[in-house]
Chains A and B, each alone.
Chain A
Amino acid sequence: MSMNRREVLKAGGGAAVYTALASMGFFAANPAMAAWNKAAFETKSIADTLKVLGVSGTANSADVVITSPDIAENGAVVPVGVASKIAKTEMIAVMVEKNPSMMAGMYEFGANAEADISMRVKMGQSSDVYALVKADGKFYMTKKEVKVTLGGCGG
């Protein structure tokens, strides 16, 4: 098996091969890091994403707050913050519905992290931003519309 891997690497050498192998779990450079969930980042709709993540149903919750501007001037840098006040929040996922790659980021928290993160994302056009929260085995979802005056995915 390991010989095969070497040969594949030698023959391919490219980043694409590496990524393909990495997604299959061939590389465990750092065992603390979970394998990148390629499938979840390739989905085209919220429903698909939920399916890939194994979410059967979500509840709305006022305890999940998305902080972002209502109107973002520059779609290349849209500040988005998500905070969950639900007890035992294990995971927060940030999704931009109309982006070609919907899933922006998934955060898994240990016992000593607060479920409160901020990041900057690119947005191709005005869209709903979704926050999916997993807490104590249950899923909660909330959304916020962000209008973009200048898209950030062109070039």
Chain B
Amino acid sequence: MASPMRIRARAEGAVADVRVLMAHEMETGQRKGSDGKVVPAWFIQEVVASHNGKQVMVAQWGPAVSKNPYLQFKVKGAKAGDKIAVTWKDNKGESRTDEAAVA
């Protein structure tokens, strides 16, 4: 099971600034391991962010995203106490959802 994401959401006026740190290998499928074999690709393909259950952003990622991806985005109209949820899904079909309250 994948490790939890770290989500920080802070309200700055009418906009909440959300920072997410995900735990994922993000293998490109181009790298060779110590045995000389290509390490198969394994990366997050989709990221969905929602605010109080309403979807605000959908991202599609390629293997070029760095290991343990960091993502920052901004949600309009999010107040302190509102829920920000982030879901990712990787190319092996594994997924994870975490939620945080806006501070």
A residues with a Cβ closer than 8 A to B are 15, 18-19, 22, 27, 29-30, 32-34, 36-37, 40-41, 76-79, 81, 96, 99-110, 112-114, 116-123, 152-155
Do the beta carbons of A122 and B76 come within 8 Å of each other?
no
Give complex CA distance A10, B77 in Å.
47
Do the beta carbons of B48 and A32 come within 8 Å of each other?
yes
Contact flags (1/0) for B47-85 with A, using CB distance below 8 Å? 011010011111111111111011111111110000000
Please name the residue on chain A nearest to B39 by beta carbon: A155
Q: A104-B61, A114-B74, A114-B75 are in contact. Are A36 and B45 (CB under 8 A)?
A: yes
B residues with a Cβ closer than 8 A to A are 15, 28, 30-33, 39-40, 42, 45-46, 48-49, 51, 54-67, 69-78, 87, 89, 91-93, 95
CB distance from A71 to the nearest CB of B (A): 17
Give complex CA distance A105, B60 in Å.
5
Residues from chain B with Cβ under 8 Å of A103 in the complex: 62, 64
Do the beta carbons of B30 and A116 come within 8 Å of each other?
no
Give complex CA distance A114, B54 in Å.
15
Please name the residue on chain A nearest to B97 by beta carbon: A30
Do the beta carbons of B70 and A118 come within 8 Å of each other?
yes
Residues from chain B with Cβ under 8 Å of A81 in the complex: 72
Q: A101-B28, A108-B57, A112-B76 are in contact. Are A27 and B65 (CB under 8 A)?
A: no
